[in-house]
Amino acid sequence: MKKTYKHLGQVVKDFRAKAHLTQKDLAEKLGYNIPQFISLMENGHSKIPLNVLGELISFLKIPEKMVLDILLETYKKEAREQISSGRKKAANY
């Protein structure tokens, strides 16, 4: 998931820059008092809550499909890994 956070963070950063908003501007739009939350998100150090992701999609005009594709690709990869792990474990019985 860390790669996903970093990828989504870069998307947010790119679209924020296109919108000519500072981290402080965006933090205020989201109702945060300090811009550090935006910095943490953009650098992939913080998970972006889905409701906040929805706000970011609206405020920054990020294509929803782009965000969903990133999330779904990560989910598929993690699901494959978990299923494979379960199958290997079952084979040892």
Domain of 17, CATH number, reads 1.10.260.40
pLDDT of residue 1: 63
- pTM above 0.85? no
CA distance 22 to 2: 24
What is the signed CA dihedral for 71, 14, 33, 48, rounded to 10 degrees? 10
Domain hosting residue 71, numbered range: 2-91
Mean pLDDT of the chain: 93
Q: How many domains does the chain have?
A: 1
List, for residues 8-38, the tens digit of each pLDDT value: 999 999 999 999 999 999 999 999 998 999 9
